[in-house]
Structure 1
Amino acid sequence: MPDSYADLSRFYDLVMTSGYYDYDAYAHAILPCIGTRKDVLELGVGTGLVADRLLALGPGDLRLTAIDHTDSMLAQARDRLGDRARLRREDILDLDLPSAFDVAYSVGGVWYIVQDGEESWLSSHLMEEEDNERALTNLAAAIRPGGSLLLSVQGPHRRSDRPLPGGLLYTQHVEVDPAGRHLKDYFIEDQGVVVAHQRLRFRLFPREAADRLLRRCGFHLQDSEGVLWQYVRR
């Protein structure tokens, strides 16, 4: 995968904590799914915002491994998390971890669920179906049978803007083609001047296609309520 958030990374926390995500809500939803299990994997740790809340609210013996493929994001995550989590630079397409995890979760990371009314899709940073199958198969190999894959739920991508602290402005533009491929541009402006721009691509898999893909890779949907969908590793 490309170094997706390299340009946006220095403004990432400002954007994400200005109303983009409710990190407490996600952490509170993840913890009951972990239960008494200890070995947890985060897919796309970013700057460590989810991991920080999870470690603060969860049991002291939680063993969290968190991966990302963007060096600048990992550097910020190391500053935030210190030695509370094991951080690794990993590309999900070449993921090679031991089969040692009870739970894996992705909050807006490699995969997540997009809901719009009664419709839902699997959103992926990987554009090709064969890459998603390869990556999900890699992930399944890292999760113990009976373990869980948790995917966050969020609304659809739309054009929007939002003021940020310090007089900055965040804007996102979204274009969609008929195959469900999204082109999303993020802009940070200061006094009308663009100081950061990031372009990302997403692909949306309709619910039935997503279910087939995940089943082929060893995951069965267990729960699709609330802010997380929970899959079980067969």
Structure 2
Amino acid sequence: MPDSYADLSRYYDLVMTSGYYDYDAYAQALLARIGTRRDVLELGVGTGLVADRLLALGPRDLRLTGIDHTDSMLAQARGRLGDRVTLRRKDILDMSLPSAFDAAYSIGGVWYIVEDGEQSWLSSHLMEEEDNETALANLAAAVRPGGTLLLSVQGPHRRAGRSLPGGLHYTQHVAVDAQGQHTKDYFIEDQGVVLAHQRLRFRLFPQPAADKILQRCGFHFQDRDDVLWQYTRR
């Protein structure tokens, strides 16, 4: 995967903490479902915002490992988390990790769930079904049987914007091509001057198709709520 947040990374925390995500709500929901599991893997640790809240709200013996493919984001995560979390630069398509994790989660990372009314999709930054199977198989090899995979829930991608501290402005534009593949453009502007622009592509797999992919890789649906979907590693 390319270094997909290289341009946006210097403004990432500013955007994410301005109301984009409720990190306390995600951390509390994760901890409730992680339960007594202690060896936990974050897929797409970013700048460490989720991990930081888990450490603040969770048990002292929680052992977190965070992976990301973006050097600029990992540099910020190291500054925030220090040695409290094991951070590794990994591309999930060729990732090799020991089978050492009781739980893994993705909060808007490689995968997450998009819900719109009664419909739901698995959103993936991997565009090809074959790549998703490869990546999920790599993940399954790292999660112990009986372990859990937790995916965050988000609403549909739409054009949006918000003001940021310091007089900056954030906007996102979303386009869908004939094959149903999505392109999302992020802009940080200062009085109409673009300071940063990042383009990401993702694909939405309808939930029945997504569940078949997950099942082929060893993950079976277990439960869901408004914040997280939970799969069990069989």
TM tier, smaller? over 0.9
Distance in 2 separating the partners of 1:154 and 1:180: 18
Question: Which residue of 1 is the match for residue 135 of structure 2?
Answer: 135
Question: Which residue of 2 is the match for residue 158 of structure 1?
Answer: 158
Distance in 1 separating the partners of 2:216 and 2:224: 19
Question: Which residue of 1 is the match for residue 211 of structure 2?
Answer: 211
Question: Which residue of 2 is the match for residue 49 of structure 1?
Answer: 49
Question: Which residue of 2 is the match for residue 87 of structure 1?
Answer: 87
Aligned runs of 1:75-224 on 2, under 5 Å? Answer: 75-224=75-224
**CA 1:19 to 1:221, structure 2 compared with 1: closer, same or farther past 3 Å?**
same
CA shift, 1:88, in A, is: 0.2
TM-score by length of 1: 0.99
Instruction: Confirm whether residue 59 of structure 1 aligns to residue 82 of structure 2.
Output: no
CA shift, 1:34, in A, is: 1.3
Moved more, 218-227 or 7-16: 218-227
Contact 1:115 1:156 (C-alpha < 8 Å) held by counterparts: yes
CA shift, 1:180, in A, is: 2.5
Distance in 1 separating the partners of 2:178 and 2:232: 31
Name stretches of at least 5 consecutive residues in structure 2 with no aligned partner: none
Structure 1 ranges of 4+ moved more than 4 A: none
RMSD between aligned residues: 0.6
Distance in 1 separating the partners of 2:101 and 2:30: 15
Distance in 2 separating the partners of 1:111 and 1:118: 19
Q: Secondary structure at the match of 1:78?
A: helix
Question: Which residue of 1 is the match for residue 28 of structure 2?
Answer: 28
Contact 1:66 1:87 (C-alpha < 8 Å) held by counterparts: yes
Contact 1:107 1:151 (C-alpha < 8 Å) held by counterparts: yes
Q: Secondary structure at the match of 1:210?
A: helix
CA deviations over 1:28-77 (Å, ceiling 9, x no partner):
00001111111000000000000000011000011100000000000000
Name stretches of at least 5 consecutive residues in structure 1 with no aligned partner: none
TM-score by length of 2: 0.99
Q: Secondary structure at the match of 1:47?
A: coil
